[in-house]
Amino acid sequence: MEEVLPHRVAQLLRDARRVVIFTGAGISAESGVPTFRDDLTGLWARFDAQQLATAEAFHADPDLVWGWYEWRRARVRRAEPNSGHLAITTIESRIPDSTVITQNVDDLHERAGTPATIHLHGSLFAPRCMAAAAHPATFPDQPDGEAAEPHEGRRISPPRCASCRELVRPGVVWFGEALPEAALTAAAEAATACDVLLTVGTSGVVYPAAEIPRIAASSGATVIQVNPQPTPLDRIAAINLRGSAAQVLPTLVAAAWR
């Protein structure tokens, strides 16, 4: 970890009035959540992303697509928030004007105690109706046993919306779809207004989400990157901390609020 951590970074965090924490796949991977493409393994390796993560794929074979997303959702359920997620909730408790923005589609921030995460790419736990109005749908309760743990490669029929009887689809952003306008607007506004932006475990190459740290930097915020590897965000980050979220964030929190 960089020598600057216990001094400059801790002071920046303590002095900040508005903080944004922007997270990517790296923080979830530390909880054992596979990345999108890493989940195309075993029997699912017969398919590519275009067969499973587009609206066209869902219309062509809804049972196949819903089965894969139920498989993914079951795997996320078995994961637990790690010390990086918990450190973020501590930052939120110390700096009330904090905003967590994530590219992840799991619920690990919420389970760690973050009350209102902005999900730029949607969520496995926020399905919506396929009707033109695309309203949120109540997710059916899953019974114990086999239905709650889908077999790898298994097709599962998606439920119908209770109010309009249209099919319910996964609440994630598929290839070819725009990011949720309200989430993207809220994220951009938070990045524009913050003093410090922590970017954690993201590659910085998936757009338009990757614009969020750049918006903060161009608005005068201090961007601090936490990532084991160099990324394109190195160039805009004032400080680059090499390490994983679970390693770096608890140390940062301890240094800031001894």
From the list 85, 109, 119, 121, the catalytic residue is: 121
Q: To 10 degrees, what angle do helices 245-256 and 83-94 make? A: 30
Please say whether the beta carbons of 102 and 192 come within 8 A: no
229 assigned to a ligand binding site = yes
Q: How far apart are CA 3 and CA 178, in angstroms?
A: 41
Q: Which of 26, 28, 5 is nearest to 240 (CA)?
A: 5
Strands 122-129 and 118-119: unpaired
Q: Does 72 carry a binding-site annotation?
A: yes
Catalytic site includes residue 119 = no
- DSSP reduced 3-state for 52: helix
Name the token pair of 59: 């219309």
- Is 203 known to sit in a ligand binding site? yes
Task: Report the alpha-carbon angle 136-138-142, nearest 5.
Answer: 140
Are 200 and 23 in contact by the 8 Å Cβ rule? The answer is yes
Residue keyed to tokens 């790419």? 121
202 is in an annotated binding site: yes
245 assigned ligand-binding residue = yes
Does 164 count as an annotated binding residue?
Answer: no
- Residue 69 assigned as binding residue: yes
* Residue 258 marked ligand-binding: no
> Binding site membership for NAD(+): which residues?
103-106, 201-203, 227-229, 245
> Binding site membership for Zn(2+): which residues?
129, 161
Cite the active site residues.
121
> Binding site membership for substrate: which residues?
69, 72
> Binding site membership: which residues?
69, 72, 103-106, 129, 161, 201-203, 227-229, 245
